[in-house]
Chains A and B, each alone.
Chain A
Amino acid sequence: MSDQSDNPHKQSTGPDIETASRLASDREGPAIVSRRWLLLKAGIALNGLVGLALAVPIVRYLLAPVRKDDSYKSWISLGAADSFPVGETRLVSFKNPWTQPWDGETDNVAAYVRKEGASQFTVFAINCAHLGCPVRWFPQSQLFMCPCHGGVYYADGSRASGPPERGLFTYDYKIAGGQLQIDAGQMPSLSNTAKLVNIPTPGQNGSAKDGDCPCRG
């Protein structure tokens, strides 16, 4: 490109302009022309450098939502532990702890609370472990059914049938001051919950025990 006869504007300029510029570069000599090319390269380098400097804050800004799961979580109260009847599964909803005023209704989150004993709970995420659709609890048959692709879970959250690879996600819980609290704040999904995938054979009680797959939500 530094060859003076290789005029980059050749196509767009008329023949007389071209001749004129050739004359001009003849007059100016190769030293001046190569200095222009050098300056051009300096210009490119400067822009590249500034671009790089700007890219750092831009990338940091873009990646702002990518954080450790724990930094999104906090303990949320679902109500008095006594208010849940033993042996039943109840749908509860709570406000997402990580929220903005313009979230609207999306900051309502639902969960299923199953009380097994005086202070023994399992709190299930409503999101199907297959692709996250909201499962529905049927107390009559003691099953959770998913409306999307027909996943079914038993009352203890273990997989009964359909496409899910595992049982329902569960939240970590504790009882503080008589209140049932769960560690929530993140949409449960396969990347932030149990990594273990264990497909129980039909009829066998599933592998999803409370401790196995804490919903690090």
Chain B
Amino acid sequence: MPGMKQTAKQVYDWFERRLQVEGPIKDAVLHKVPRNTASWWYVFGSAAFTLLMLQIVTGILLALVYVPSAAEAWNSLNVLNHQVPLGWFLRAVHGWGSNFMVAVVFIHMAQVFLFGAYKFPRELTWTVGVFLLLMTLGMAFTGQVLRFDQDAYWGLGIGVFILSRVPWMGGGLVHLLLGGPTIAGATLSRFFALHVFVIPGTLLVLVAMHVWMVLKLGINEWPMPGRLVRKSTYTAEYNKLAHEDGIPFVPGAFWKDLIFSGAVLAAVAVCAAVFGPSGPGGQPDPSITQTVPKPDFPFLWIYAVLSYLPPSMETPFILIAPILMIAGLLAVPFVAGEGEKSWHRRPVAVLALTSVAVAWAVFTHLATYTPWSPHMSAWSGDPLPVQYLRDATPLVRQGAVIFQAKQCRNCHSIGGLGGERGPALDAVATRMTLDQIRYKVVTGGGNMPAYGKNLSPPEIEALVSFLETLHPANEQPAIDAAQQATQSNAAPAPASGAGGP
């Protein structure tokens, strides 16, 4: 069909005559990049961009149904989940897209750091990237608020308490965050504005800057040990590399970007289909106290850190650590803007990255099972193992009842069930003598409340005699030196190797 081809060409020319984008696009697409940057290590940035596009599209689609009102948001999410055909799937794709985006942005940053790609002349690309990371986390947090359920409510509450610690203007900041004195209608409206207009708008502008600089400055060459970055010579060296051993960006490097992005999108879709959307949990009614709030995945590590900090360090830490972290990230290219790019010659960088990654993984892992939180229903829900009470005296049985009824189980596990805030008590009698147990119960200490004022002396006696029976059959309870002396005086010592009475 030569006629049609010609018409198409004419239409194309008509637009091109007016738009004049062919030149710049060709330049961008065909510019030469160093051959070895066409690597599977260089695909994370484009994947993050693809995920951003996915989030924008699915976000708009969800906004067709979602009602950004504190009174209706929760209901509209349930309508999306249960009544709108495939509404649940779109929610799931948006939610998993968010998880993937946070993960890919972090991986991208780690890769850029490890490859020294932030060094001259790409310092500003890194700086903008740091803000892109903050915006991505901002999207994750505001998105969690829009899923207006109990977790969202109490997560906001934690935000309030953190802000309220800012000296002098904490109260004002809280009002500004909430749009009023409490978490209410105004709060959801402003988080909607942040999540849908303010942060995405900023994100797009920053992404444009970021990509523009990647195009202008070229893709970071593969780091070689001994090839040092010097401000005076770098640009000439890079251009030489790109021209002598370069390939056009498309298709040379771009096909890997495309395939990886496609795979990531497929992974999001599979996760969404298999695991479904997250929440909404219970309705955001703050008078319901039967709740165990938990933040979304990207913030779990903060949750863990806040549980382990000693109280006196907390306020300084909460207020200063984020500033230091961001300042540290921003400072990276200005402190180490020249020199070696290869990880073979940057042990400090590798060590720093590994430590951060390990710490993050440990805290996130801990936060998935929150050993610091009491199990609020363990006292009434987790039965004592029968063998612990076989042949028990009435006093011991009485103690076992007190152990359950006084919520000891909420923090101490027995037989693998119960809280993990305090130590498991299965063998407590081998670790502490009777007196030590009694003292601990009465006075508390560390992370244990003093039960002295909440239990009567007979109750304490019963409880302690129950705890005294908690030891393996082949191990005797611990005794102190005085008891040992009395016992060895009373009876001749048994054959050696019996390990004490």
Contact = CB atoms under 8 A, between A and B. Distances in A.
B451 interface: yes
Contacts of A160: 444, 449-450
Contact of B181 (A72, A143, A148): A72
B394 interface: no
Given A104-B71, A108-B286, A72 B180 contact: yes
Main DSSP-derived SS at the A contact region: loop
Contacts of A67: 175
25 contacts: A65-B180, A66-B172, A66-B175, A98-B181, A98-B182, A100-B185, A101-B71, A103-B185, A104-B69, A105-B71, A105-B283, A106-B70, A106-B184, A106-B187, A106-B285, A109-B182, A110-B286, A142-B453, A145-B410, A148-B158, A148-B307, A150-B307, A186-B181, A190-B165, A203-B444
A165 interface: yes
A191 B165 contact: yes
Nearest to A134: B289
Interface residues of A, number: 63
B228 interface: no
B451 A141 contact: yes
A212 interface: no
B365 interface: no
Contacts of B289: 91, 110, 126, 134-136
Interface string B311-327: 11011000000000000
Contacts of B312: 165, 199
Contact of B183 (A62, A106, A140): A106
A72 B154 CA distance: 21
B405 interface: yes
Nearest to B182: A187
Contacts of A101: 71
Interface in B265-280: none
A136 B376 contact: yes
B171 interface: yes
Interface in B399-458: 405-408, 410-411, 421, 442-454
Contacts of A102: 69-72, 185
B50 to A, nearest CB: 32
A109 B289 CA distance: 10
A127 interface: yes
B307 A154 contact: no
> Chain B interface: which size bin?
35 or more
B114 interface: no
Contacts of B179: 65
A66 to B, nearest CB: 5
B309 interface: yes
Nearest to B445: A202
* Most chain A CB within a 10 A radius of its CB, from B69, B171, B306, B379: B171
Given A65-B178, A134-B289, A202-B444, A140 B284 contact: no
A143 B158 contact: no
Contacts of A203: 442-445, 450, 452
A141 B164 contact: no
B500 interface: no
Contacts of A63: 176
A161 B314 contact: no
A202 B444 CA distance: 6
B373 interface: yes
B407 A150 contact: no
Contact of A163 (B175, B309, B442, B449): B309
B372 interface: yes
A135 B311 CA distance: 18
A143 B449 contact: yes
A155 to B, nearest CB: 8
Nearest to A135: B289
Interface in A57-103: 62-63, 65-67, 69, 72, 91, 93, 96, 98-103
